[in-house]
Amino acid sequence: MMASERKPATILFIALAVYFLANIAVRLSLPATLELDEAEQIFYSQWLTLGYGPQPPLYNWLQTAVFAVTGRSIFGLSLLKNALLFSCYFFYWLAACQVLRDSRLRIVAVLGLLALPQVSFMAQQDLAHTVALLSATALFLYAFYRIVAAPDTTAYLLAGVAVGAGFLAKYNFPLLPIAALLAVLPEKNLRDRIFNWRLVMAMALAFAIVLPHALWLLQNFDHATSATLGKMTENGDVSVGPISAVRGIGSMAVAIAAFSAVIVLIFVAVYRRSAWTVLKAQSVPIRITERMIALLAVALIAIVVATGTVHVRERWLDPFLLVLPLYLCMKIEAAGKAGAITRKGLLVIPLAIMLAIPASIFLRVTTTGMTGAYTKLNIPFDEFAKKLTGNSVTPAVVIAQDRHLAGNMKLNVGKTPVMTAQFPNFKLPFDWNNDQAVLLVWRSATDASVPAQLKQWVSDNATTGTISTIGKMSLPYHYGREGDRYDFSYAWVTAPKIAP
């Protein structure tokens, strides 16, 4: 890379580093409570296992490694998320270097990720596994286009790592490399990239990365897929037929439109009448990318119809549409129209987005006193935990009603083990004696009685215990209106007295 090309790229990544550091600072400035995915990471970090539930384990493993350095903390959560997002932008730039000659367009392609709300805005809210997926997808695009442009052993190895990591991030990822391979086949001059011993090596590497979790998945398939199926269908009730097919395809079309609307509008606004001319431009990488997108669309439609899916979420499209900014930049370069999109005046768009995202994340929590639209970060989990653990009775273990509450409790109770009735298979040993009690915690808007699932936990695991105290706390929201409060309940289960 020439020095004239290196300087803009350096400035780009310095700006991105500052942007992600700003997002970390914003998260640390907000209340010490957790979003749902954050709470899951804190909760699951008590175990190191080959599988955790409906999501693959890569992000959990990475988060556990980060916590080994930072401790279980909001800083550790935010550090990993933003580091992975930064890596996504970096790998995407490397991919752009394989297919774009114009260094200005490479930067435009990377900044185009900011115009994808699922990548820029939603990833900073309550996403974890999807963030790992974005990084793995960008790495795969780099390796794939590098193989197409000038294959070498390193490129194939990177592809193997990306495929393995992608599968361990989200189960829908494998559709992408399959579509990519098929998209290359019609190019006679490129078939040697597919029928190549190094591809076998890459597949073997991916298989080795995936194998331990795959064995766990085979033994826990129903547990791993039931929650996802419930999100895709009506409460998990699979109903395959023309009505569900129409609803599912319609939902998919809406999700695609929402995913790509911002960047498409920017493209149309910049090129206007020449937009169609740009879209007609062709090159070998463009043809391959178009086939890949078309194959993915067909595969997604087939899955929607075959499974009776009626709800397609935008974030499920991340590995399939992440290529969109790069694809548009390839079109622009092939049409010889780079001048319009690389005007310095257009830099105001990504800069505005980079300012708006951390500001909006901060304001959506801190302005709820005016709106009354409370977020999970406004719920005073931290105050609830502090008041309980300051009690004269020290908990031997905390049993929470759900994983969100469990994660928030774990963040605030130090080494005390925390489990949840929602996931009874995740167990930890605890020392239950005369000086320590089991603490049950749950949410209670009206009824403060012990929920059935917590009673069942006591029946199964603390049969000799006695529920000696049941209490309720009504605490003010963080940044809440005067008088608005959130209700928690708790109970202490004491061990039977043992004579000295």
pLDDT tens, position by position, 8-17: 899 999 999 9
The range of the structural domain enclosing residue 395 comes to: 376-494
Whether 371 is covered by a domain: the verdict is: no
Here the tokens at position 179 are 């579509």
Give dist(CA 391, CA 386) in Å, integer. Answer: 9
Whether 500 is covered by a domain: the verdict is: no
Q: Which of 345, 365, 385 is the last residue of a domain?
A: 365
Q: What is the DSSP letter of 481?
A: P
The pTM score is: 0.94
**Across 121-130, 139-148, 355-364, least confident range:** 121-130
Q: 3-class DSSP state for residue 219?
A: helix
Do 403 and 332 fall into the same domain? no
Whether 173 is covered by a domain: the verdict is: yes
Do 406 and 354 fall into the same domain? no
Do 354 and 299 fall into the same domain? yes
Scanning 100-174, the segments in alpha helix (DSSP H) are 103-112, 117-120, 129-149, 153-169
Name the nearest CA neighbour of 39 among 126, 134, 169: 126
Do 382 and 328 fall into the same domain? no
Q: Which of 326, 343, 365 is the last residue of a domain?
A: 365
Do 216 and 308 fall into the same domain? yes
Whether 438 is covered by a domain: the verdict is: yes
pLDDT in tens, 277-308: 999 999 999 999 999 999 999 999 999 999 88
Here the tokens at position 255 are 């999700």
pLDDT in tens, 1-10: 555 567 889 9
What is the percentage of the chain residues whose pLDDT exceeds 90? 75
Do 179 and 286 fall into the same domain? yes
What pLDDT does 1 receive?
57
Do 306 and 229 fall into the same domain? yes
End-to-end CA distance of the chain: 78
Please report, to the nearest 10 degrees, the dihedral formed by the alpha carbons of residues 378, 384, 386, 389 taken in order: -160
Q: What is the DSSP letter of 30?
A: S
Do 458 and 344 fall into the same domain? no
Domain count, the chain: 2
Give dist(CA 333, CA 229) in Å, integer. Answer: 41
Q: What is the DSSP letter of 396?
A: E
How much is the average pLDDT of 88-92? Answer: 98
Whether 386 is covered by a domain: the verdict is: yes
Do 322 and 423 fall into the same domain? no
Do 341 and 393 fall into the same domain? no
Whether 196 is covered by a domain: the verdict is: yes
Here the tokens at position 184 are 């290359």
Do 450 and 313 fall into the same domain? no
What pLDDT does 300 receive?
95
How much is the average pLDDT of 30-49? Answer: 96
Whether 360 is covered by a domain: the verdict is: yes
Residue count (the chain): 500
pLDDT higher than 60, residue 233: no
pLDDT in tens, 372-381: 999 999 999 9
For 279, residues 6+ apart whose C-beta sits below 8 A from its C-beta are: 331
